[in-house]
Structures are given as structure tokens and as C-alpha cells.
Amino acid sequence: MTRYSAFAIAREALRQHTGWTRAWASPEPASHYDVVIVGAGGHGLATAYYLGKNFGIRNVAIIEKGWLGGGNTGRNTTIIRSNYLQDPSAAIYEKARSLYEGLSQDLNYNVMFSPRGVMMLAQTEHEIRGYKRTEMANKLQGVDTRFIGPAEVKRLVPIMNIEGPRYPVLGALWQPRGGTARHDAVAWGYARACSAMGMHVIQNCEVTGVESAGGEVTAVNTTKGTIGCKKLGIVVAGHSGHLAAMAGFRLPIESVALQAMVSEPIKPCMDVVVMANTVHGYMSQSDKGEMVIGGGADHFNNYTQRGSWQHIEETVRSLIETFPMLSRLKMLRQWGGIVDMTGDRSPIISKTPLGNTFINCGWGTGGFKAIPGSGWAMADLIAKGEPGPLARDFSMFRFREGRFIDESVAAGVAH
């Protein structure tokens, strides 16, 4: 694998860029692997990467029914933060945020991490109380978060109207080290690093069945043939229930579409991420100048990846009082991703009823921000067969045991 550097760019410029090699290989599947990971999105690729980096397990296949990163990894709004209320949530999201800070150097690939800061607006007295509670919890958890007043909000985001007649801005929960990253680059960087370690990233390879014997999976049937494995990791977001059914067990999740849109590009006007939970909308500005806009998940179960006009109306109507400039912008494009929601709006990183099969799902509306921490925890689980500190509380069996990790406000509302 060619190492990217300023020297490499200069060298290739002198020879008309003829020396660049493919970022990752596209091999045909082997007959058997130590670990097969289903799902070549950010979480699946990160799991494979940390299996190789942390545990030396490199006989790994990451199989994807479509193209690499073509699911939710390529269909999100790239927000990264860790100011969650519950201790298990804050721990895994803060691990992910801290890994994001050095990810470009670690992968030798620019993931365009931008620690621009994330603010969650308080537009009711109830939200002020809730965010101050989260601020105190975050201090105990070692997460750098603080509550700021309306004047500081206006200073950070001058284009905001903080005196809205219905929902004035009364303050915000501010995480200065939160931000964004380039979603495609995260997937590409992990894929490139996995390929360099000898792992097989296999695209256009859909799983059609799961073979098991003696309470363990022995192979997966795919459109490219049967692939044997010693261990199986399922990391397929909104399709987790479908894969689990193939393996013979059920999951406590439901799948819904989460929609987002971007405006036409405009000059730089906002250099932080703003989330408004009361009106259910959030916004940031991309490096290309587009305003990246999103809101809540659809109110009914579905597997669509399209946008809808009612979502445009609902989300823009929610934000336009706080950001009047939106009324003058044209929409450039709109899309949807299929998210998997648990009852407590917290993820599942867990052993399953099959002894050598493990699952990572249930990230709902906030999966992108967790990719490095999720991969770290899932790799630990697969390698050791038991969950480590980051994953211990996220068992799929917690729902029947009544051990909920309730993040319905922090995770279920606005990313």
C-alpha cells in the first residue's frame, strides 16, 4: 500500500500521477475465514480494522451486499459528539470522539475531522433543566461539555434568531470538541487500512442464508458462494433483524427511515453544528458551502432510502424561525437512510444465542459518531468472546432483564 504524504503527492505529480495504486483490493472470497463480518459500512470496517490492529486477527472477510459505505455510512449528516446522559453511552461515544481526533493519522487517510463544536439549543425551561443535568453528568464522566447562555449562542452563531416568538433560544448545551467528519472518507480510510493488513473487502456479495451446527454458525451462503467461518459478526444497521432471522434468533429493534437534505452551496455563514430538539431539526454547513439539514425519523416502519415532501415541510418549518435565512435557499438534494431503533434508543453490542456469532446494531439516529468506538468494542467482543468495559452494558438480553440504558432524549430526538 502506498503511504500518502506530501512527498508522495510531489513524486506522483512529477510522473503524471501514474504510480498511484488502488486504495483497496477487490478479491474473490476464500472458502474459509477466521472471522466473517457482514456489513462493510463504517461500523463493520472499523470492527475489522481493530481486530487486526489490537488483536492481530487478519484472516478476516468483510462482505457487503452493495458497495462499500453505500448504506447509512454514506447517508448521514456526519455529526460527532459524546455528551450523552448515561454512563455507558458517554463512555463509548467519548471513546469514539477521541479516536476520531487522531483517525486521519492512524489510518494515513484524511477523514476531514473538524472539531468545530456542537450545540444543542434549549428553547424551553424543561430543556434548560435537562441540559444542566447532562452537564453535571458529563463532568463526572470526564466529557468536556458546558451550558452556555443566549448571548454566547448568538456570538457563536450570528445568523441565528434567538428571540423567536414561539421558541426563543434560552441557552445551549455546548461541546466544543464535537464536530463533523467526511462520512465517505471514514469508510474509505478503514477499508484501505483493512486491505493493507491482508483482509478481504468483498462488495456485491449478499448473504442469502446462514448455516449452523451444534449451536454455532459454520458458514454463510452468499451470492458469491458459501463462505465458512470460525466467528461471525453481524453489523448491518437497519437490516439487522433480517440477518438475525436467517441465523434463527430475533432482535428487539425496528427499522425506520431517517431523512436529511442539503441546500445549494452558499458562502460560509456557520462554523458550528446546531441541534434544536424542541422543534426537531439540526443543521451544519459543509466544506462545500451546503447547509446540511435533518430532523426526526419517519413515524412508521419502512425500508425506503428516498426522501419525501412531507419531511421537507416538517423539518424546514421547524428550523425557519430560528434560521430565517433558510427561507431563501433552494434544496439541492435529499435522501434517506434505514436506521435500527431499540426501545431505549441505545445500541446493541452483544453475544447472541449462537455461540460464535456476535451482533452490533441499534444505533438508531446516531451511528456515525460512534464508528471508531463501536468498532473498538465489537472487535474486543469478537476476539475475546466476552464483552469488554465499553460493550458490557449493551447486551441484547438487557430488555428482558429490565436493564435499560434510556437515551430517548439524547439519542432518539436529534442525533
pLDDT above 70 (res 69) = yes
pLDDT above 80 (res 414) = no
Q: What percent of the chain has pLDDT over 90?
A: 84
**Collapsed DSSP state (helix, strand, coil) of residue 182:** coil
Domain membership flag for residue 365: yes
Q: 284 with 351, same domain?
A: no
Total count of domains within the chain? 2
Pick from 320, 342, 364: which residue ends a domain?
342
Structure-derived torsion over alpha carbons of residues 315, 261, 45, 110, reported in degrees to the nearest 10: -120
Residue 119: how many other CB atoms lie within 10 Å: 25
**What CATH number corresponds to the domain at position 166?**
3.30.9.10
Of 200, 230, 234, 232, nearest in space to 58 by CA: 200
Please write the tens of the pLDDT for every residue from 153-191. 999 999 999 998 889 999 999 999 999 999 999 999 999
Pick from 326, 342, 358: which residue ends a domain?
342
| C-alpha–C-alpha distance, residues 60 and 86, integer Å | 33
Q: Residue 315: give the domain boundaries.
A: 118-178+255-342
Q: 198 with 238, same domain?
A: yes
Domain membership flag for residue 124: yes
Domain membership flag for residue 3: no
Q: What is the mean pLDDT of residues 64-71?
A: 93
Q: 242 with 382, same domain?
A: yes
Nine-digit cell at 149? 447562555
- Contact between 179 and 116 under an 8 Å Cβ cutoff? The reply is yes
Q: 104 with 124, same domain?
A: no
Q: 138 with 165, same domain?
A: yes
Q: Which amino acid would we find at residue 86?
A: Q
Of 161, 156, 166, nearest in space to 124 by CA: 166
- Give the least confident one: 196-200, 391-395, 402-406: 402-406
pLDDT above 60 (res 89) = yes
**What CATH number corresponds to the domain at position 226?**
3.50.50.60
Element (H, E) at 257: strand 253-263
Domain membership flag for residue 246: yes
Q: What percent of the chain has pLDDT over 70?
A: 98
Highest mean pLDDT among 66-75, 288-297, 381-390: 381-390
| C-alpha–C-alpha distance, residues 31 and 132, integer Å | 55
Pick from 325, 342, 359: which residue ends a domain?
342
Q: 151 with 34, same domain?
A: no
Helices 42-55 & 183-196 angle (0-180, nearest 10)? 40
Helices 42-55 & 371-384 angle (0-180, nearest 10)? 50
Domain membership flag for residue 5: no
Q: 66 with 194, same domain?
A: yes
| C-alpha–C-alpha distance, residues 381 and 43, integer Å | 14
Q: 158 with 265, same domain?
A: yes
Q: 200 with 94, same domain?
A: yes
Q: 202 with 337, same domain?
A: no
